[in-house]
Structure 1
C-alpha cells in the first residue's frame, strides 16, 4: 500500500506507517528544514517542497507513477495551530484553517482506498454559524462514497509515553472501518513512561551537545533558571522555590504550574509543544535532579516515539518545532496496522465471495 503524506512535516506519520509495513511514496510540505529532515530519513520517497495551494494533481501524479497499481493511503495532518488551545490568537481569518479543503481535489483525482487524518481535538469545535473545514471534510467524504470513523485518541493508549489527545479520522471507500485497537492501558500493556523513553540516554548539562549524538543537545539556561531548577524535585515546579525566585507574574497566582516544572520518571510526559526545548515553556525540565536542564531534542524525539537513529536537520529551535508538530510514530504505526488489517479482511472477503 502506497502512502502520500500531505503536510508531512519531519515525517512522524510517515515513519509510523512505514514501520507498519506501508510504502511511503511521497511527502509534501513547505518548510525547508522539515523537508531536509524528511528526505534524510526517506531517501527512496519523492518530495514536493511547496505550499499545497501551489501544487497541482499532475504534480503529484508525476511523482508517483504507479498510483493505479497498488492501494493508496492519503495521509493529511494539516497544521494544528489554528485550532489548538495553546494558540491564544486563533482567528477565523487564519489561512491555515482552510488547508484541509485543499486535499479535496487530490482525493477526487487519486481516489485513495484509505484516508488518515490527525489533528488537535479543537479542529472539530467550530462556530456553529460557520461550517468549519472539518465539517466540510466530513460532508465531502460522505458525498464521495467514503465511510469513516472519527474519535479522540489518547496517545498513551497506543504506546506513546505522553499525555496527548488527538482527533483522528480513518476513512475507507472499501466499507465500514473500526477504531484501531488500543495496545496499552487497561487490558493491554503497561503505559510507556518517561523513564522508558529517555532513561537510557547519557547525561548532559544545560547548553551541551552529546559527543555521540548531535541531536542529544539542549538549551542553555540563565543563572537564575539554573538556581530554580536545582531547587525543583522530580515532578516539582515553582511551588517548591523560595519566594524570591518566583516571577512577579506568578506570585499569588494559582495555576499554570507546569511552567518551569520537572517531568516525573515513572509517569507520562506532558504534551510536547513546538517549544519543548524551553525550561520556562512547560513541564519540560529533565526528571533527573542531577541534570538541571530542559529536555534535549533527542529526548523530545524519543517521547514522540521516533526511532533512536532518526535524523533531524536545522537549528535546535527548528528541530524541536518539527518534533512538537509531528504525529507520534507509534500512534501512526498502530493506525497503519489497523488499516492494513481492514484491507486484508476486505481482500479475504472478496476472495471468499468469489469462491
Structure 2
C-alpha cells in the first residue's frame, strides 16, 4: 500500500509508516524548513509545499495515480495548537481549527482504504456543545461507511521512550478496525527509557558539538543556568537549588516544576515540545550529572524514535520545532503494522471466501 501524509512536517509519521512497509507517495505541508527535511529523507516521494486550502484534489490524484493500485492510507496530523491544553491563548477565531475540514474533500474523492488521524487529546472535546471539526469528520466517515476507532494513545505503550499522550483515530473502508494492543509496559516488555536511546552519544558540555554529527550539539547556557544545572541531580529540578538561584516568580509557586529539570535515565522522557533543546523550557536537561547541558537535536530526535541517521534541515530552533511537532516514528510504525495486518486478513478472507 501507499501513503499520503497531510501536514507531514519533517516526516515522523511517514518514517514510521515506511518502516512498517508502506510506500510513501506524497507529503504535504506549508512549512518550508520542514519540507527540506522531508525531501532529504524521502527523495522518492512527491511533495507539495502549499497551504492545504489551496491544494486541489486533481493535483494530489495525479501525483499518486500511478502508485495506488494496492490500496491507499491517508495520514493527517493537522496543527494541534488550536486544541492543545498547553495553548492558553487558543481562540474560536483561530483559522487552524478548520484545517481538519480540508481533509474531507480528499477522503470523499480518493476513498482511501485506511485513514490515520493523530492530534493532541482535546481535539475531540473542543466545542462539545456544538458542531466541531472532529464531529464533522466522524460524520463524514459515517456517511461514507467507514468503520473507525478513536482513543488516547500513550506513546510509551508502543515502544516510544517518552510520556506522550496523543489522540488517534484509525479508520477502515473495509470492515471493523480497533486499536492495536500495547507492545510495551506489559509483562516481558518494559517501557523504553531515555537510557535505551541516548546513553551512547558522546559526552558534551554547554555549547559543545560532536565531531562526527553536527546535530549532536548542545545549546550554550549562560552562567546563571550553568550554575543551576550543576545543582540539579538526575531527575531533579529547581526545587533542588539553593534559594539564591530560584527565579522570584517561582519562589512561592509550586507548578511547572519540569522547567529547568533534568531527565531520568531509566524512565521515559517527558513530552518533547517545540523547544526541546532548551534547558529553561521543560525537563530537557541531560540526565548525566557530569554533562551540564540540555539534550541535543540528535538526542531529541532519538527520543522521538527517528533513525540515528535521519537528516534535519533548517536553523537549530527550527529543527527543534520540527521534532517537537512530529509524530513519534515508532508510534506510527506500530499503527502502520496494524493496518497492514488488517489488510492482509481481508485479502486472506476474500481468497478463502
TM-score (norm 2): 0.99
- Looking at structure 1, the residues matched to 43 and 143 of structure 2 have their Cα atoms a distance apart, in angstroms, of 37
**1:276, 1:282 within 8 Å by CA — same for their partners in 2?**
yes
Deviation at 1:208, TM superposition (A): 2.2
Whole-angstrom distance in 2 between the partners of 1:11 and 1:311 = 10
Unaligned segments of structure 1, at least 5 residues: none
2:29 corresponding residue in structure 1: 29
| Partner residue in 2 for 1:148 | 148
Partner of 1:335: 335
Structure 2 equivalent of residue 99 of structure 1: 99
- The 5-angstrom pairing of residues 318-333 of structure 1 reads 318-333=318-333
- Match in the other structure for 1:228: 228
Q: Distance in 2 between matches of 1:282 and 1:200?
A: 23
- Cα deviation, 1:162-209, whole Å, max 9, x if unaligned, reads 000010000001000121121101235111100001101111121222
Task: Note if contact 1:276-1:324 (Cα within 8 Å) is conserved in structure 2.
Answer: yes
* Higher mean C-alpha deviation, range 122-131 or range 216-225: 122-131
1:201 maps to which residue?
201
How large is the Cα RMSD of the aligned pairs? 0.9
What secondary structure sits across from 2:149 in the alignment? strand
Aligned to 1:251: 251
Q: Is the 8 A contact 1:147 1:173 kept in 2?
A: yes
Report SS of the residue matched to 2:118. strand
* Corresponding residue SS for 1:126: coil
**Structure 1 residue 31 displacement after superposition:** 0.4
Q: Which residue of 1 aligns with 2:166?
A: 166
Q: How many residues align?
A: 353
Q: Deviations over 1:240-285 (max 9, x none)?
A: 1110100010012112110000000001100000011111101000
What is the TM-score of this pair, normalised by structure 1?
0.98
Give the match for residue 129 of structure 1. 129
Give the distance between the partners of 1:270 and 1:171, measured in 2 at CA.
29
2:268 match: secondary structure: coil
Structure 2 CA distance for aligned equivalents of residues 252 and 323 of structure 1? 33
Give the deviation of 1:48 after TM superposition.
0.3
Name the structure 2 match of 1:118.
118
Per the TM alignment, residue 218 of structure 1 is displaced from its structure 2 partner at its CA by 2.2
Residue 306 of structure 1 and its aligned partner are, at CA, apart by 0.2
1:212 counterpart residue number: 212
Conserved in 2, the CA contact under 8 Å of 1:159 and 1:331? yes
Structure 2 partner of 1:295? 295
Cα deviation code 1:70-100 (max 9, x no counterpart): 2000001111111111111111111111101
Match of 1:137, SS state, is: helix
Q: Secondary structure at the match of 1:216?
A: strand
Structure 2: unaligned runs, 5 residues or longer? none
Cα gap change, 1:326 to 1:226, in 2 (>3 Å): same
